[in-house]
């Protein structure tokens, strides 16, 4: 059994509340961490460290759990840089560009889609994302949704069927028929490759009745529920998600008091995606209101070619702190343990014996630097399943 010791850690974020300083971050200082068989095997003072086959010297740096990016759309072709430039010149974001990407995605070969997924997955890993949820949603035919998920499943176990991203052009005047397709043959073809079902519940995409129908049939096929909710305006998505036991409702940009109340009384996570507000020049979600009400908050990138073409969790942490008034500790927790909660996982987002050895070593002495030094490549080394990347 091969072992690896990460030694001379100045600050270890464990996310085990009570295991050290910093409340939920459970920060331990001047420790070492032993990895065996891809898992954390031991944490303690360096002087007590067991012998190991290999050693990484953290040199007094901060070490934290790998980021858990619980919301990303990586299976697509083409880009929408011109749409971004038009937005920066004053055009609003409506989601209408999704159909542009659908056209490019349908026309792409499997190899082209696979290359994009792998390129973005590798890009995210270099920035510390050891787990990444990946959605379909730019195919919107039975074959294209199934192949999108098949390709996503090659690089992640956290795959999400988003056949209900928008109603494709060929069904524009018969959305009920499209919902029938999604719940019938499309779900049957997609479900073998998916863990989750998701719907873009928004004016211009899917209304409450359609969203309920699709999430319910996804659940009946054994998939867990997540929802794109309340991104562009107020709506029923958050309440519906909570009612159906969603692991997460995502975006949460336009919430009323009732939305916050139902979230606060539920195990559903509110996943905030500040890259989308950055890239669409929109008002940010009110993270403080959610946190102060006791809602569990996660941060994710929403990496996609339209509304948020970033794979960087450190960038999202910096945005959350500067623009959404989360504390650095809240943002780091939300990007690690929060993402794990949003995926209903207890083996990631945490560093404690038995957890998966997904570890980020920073080029910095403290987790505070992730927000304090925005845009700086602070990820020195990443271990995924205990393996240096």
CB of 61 or CB of 152, closer to ligand NIG? 152
Q: Between residues 148 and 231, which has the closer beta carbon with respect to ligand NIG?
A: 231
Residue 98 touches which of ligand NIG, Zn ion, none (Cβ within 5-8 Å per kind) = ligand NIG
Nearer CB in complex with ligand NIG: 252/357: 252
Looking at beta carbons, which residue is closest to ligand NIG? Answer: 306
372 in a labelled binding site: no
Q: Residues 76, 27: contact at Cβ < 8 Å?
A: no
Interacting stretch for Zn ion, rule CB under 5 A, among 79-87, 287-295, 300-308, 354-362?
300-308
Q: Which of 238, 241, 232 is nearest to 205 (CA)?
A: 232
Q: Which is nearer to ligand NIG, 70 or 304 (CB)?
A: 304
Q: How far apart are CA 198 and CA 190, in angstroms?
A: 12
Alpha carbon distance 316, 299 (integer Å): 7
Neighbours of 54 (CB within 10 A): 11
- Could you give the CA distance from residue 329 to residue 293 in angstroms, rounded to a whole number? 17
Q: What are the backbone dihedrals phi and psi of residue 323, each rounded to the nearest 5 degrees, phi first?
A: -100, -25
List of residues 6+ apart from 48 with CB closer than 8 A: none
Alpha carbon distance 225, 139 (integer Å): 20
To Zn ion, the closest distance from the beta carbon of 228 in angstroms equals 5
Closest to ligand NIG by CB, 14 or 307: 307
For 194, half-sphere exposure in the C-beta direction (CA atoms, 13 angstrom radius) is 29
Question: Contact positions toward ligand NIG, by CB under 6 A?
Answer: 95, 97-98, 101, 200, 228, 231, 276, 302, 304-308
Write the DSSP assignment of 140-195 as a string of letters: -SHHHHHHHHHHHHTT-S-EEEEEESS--GGGTT-HHHHHHHIIIIIHHHHGGG-S
Identify which of residues 69 and 302 has a Cβ nearer to Zn ion in the complex. Answer: 302
The least distance separating ligand NIG from the CB of residue 197, rounded to whole angstroms, comes to: 15
In angstroms, what is the minimal distance from the CB of 286 to Zn ion? 19
CB of 295 to ligand NIG, least distance (A): 19
Phi and psi angles of residue 387, each rounded to the nearest 5 degrees, phi first: -105, 125
Q: How far is the CB of 250 from Zn ion (least distance, A)?
A: 6
230 appears as a binding residue in the annotation: no
Are 120 and 304 spatial neighbours (Cβ–Cβ below 8 Å)?
no
Residue nearest to Zn ion (CB): 302
Closest CA to 238 of 253, 224, 223: 253
Q: Which residues are annotated as a binding site for N-formimidoyl-L-glutamate?
A: 138, 304, 306
For Zn ion, the binding residues (CB under 5 A) are 302
Q: Which residues are annotated as a binding site?
A: 71, 73, 80, 138, 165, 228, 231, 302, 304, 306-307
Q: Which residues are annotated as a binding site for 4-imidazolone-5-propanoate?
A: 80, 138, 165, 231, 307
């Amino acid at each position: 059994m091969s072992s690896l010791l990460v030694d001379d850690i100045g600050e270890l974020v464990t996310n085990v509340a009570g295991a050290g300083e910093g409340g939920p971050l459970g920060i331990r200082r001047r420790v070492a961490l032993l990895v065996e068989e891809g898992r954390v095997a031991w944490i303690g003072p360096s002087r007590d460290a067991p012998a190991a086959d290999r050693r990484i010297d953290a040199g007094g740096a901060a070490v934290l759990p790998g980021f858990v990016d619980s919301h990303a759309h990586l299976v697509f072709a083409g880009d929408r840089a011109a749409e971004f430039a038009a937005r920066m010149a004053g055009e609003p974001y409506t989601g209408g560009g999704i159909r542009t990407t659908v056209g490019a995605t349908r026309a792409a070969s499997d190899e082209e889609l696979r290359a994009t997924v792998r390129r973005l997955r590798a890009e995210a890993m270099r920035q510390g994302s050891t787990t990444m949820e990946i959605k379909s949603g730019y195919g919107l035919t039975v074959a294209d949704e199934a192949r999108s998920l098949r390709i996503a499943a090659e690089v992640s176990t956290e795959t999400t069927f988003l056949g209900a991203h928008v109603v494709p052009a060929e069904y524009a005047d018969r959305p009920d028929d499209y919902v029938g397709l999604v719940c019938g043959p499309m779900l049957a073809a997609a479900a073998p490759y998916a863990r989750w079902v998701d719907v873009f519940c928004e004016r211009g995409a899917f209304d409450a009745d359609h969203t309920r129908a699709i999430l319910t049939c996804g659940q009946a096929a054994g998939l867990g529920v997540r929802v794109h909710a309340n991104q562009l305006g107020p709506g029923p998505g958050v309440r519906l998600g909570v009612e159906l036991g969603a692991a997460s409702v995502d975006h949460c940009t336009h919430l009323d008091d009732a939305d916050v109340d139902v979230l606060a009384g539920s195990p559903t996570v509110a996943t905030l995606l500040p890259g989308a507000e950055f890239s669409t020049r929109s008002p940010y979600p009110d993270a403080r209101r959610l946190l102060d009400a006791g809602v569990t908050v996660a941060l994710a990138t929403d990496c996609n070619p339209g509304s948020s073409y970033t794979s960087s969790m450190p960038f999202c942490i910096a945005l959350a702190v500067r623009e959404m008034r989360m504390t650095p500790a809240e943002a780091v927790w939300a990007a690690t343990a929060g993402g794990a909660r949003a995926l209903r996982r207890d083996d990631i987002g945490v560093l404690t014996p038995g957890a998966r050895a997904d570890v980020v070593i920073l080029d910095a002495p403290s987790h505070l630097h992730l927000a304090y030094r925005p845009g700086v490549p602070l990820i020195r080394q990443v271990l995924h399943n205990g393996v240096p990347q």
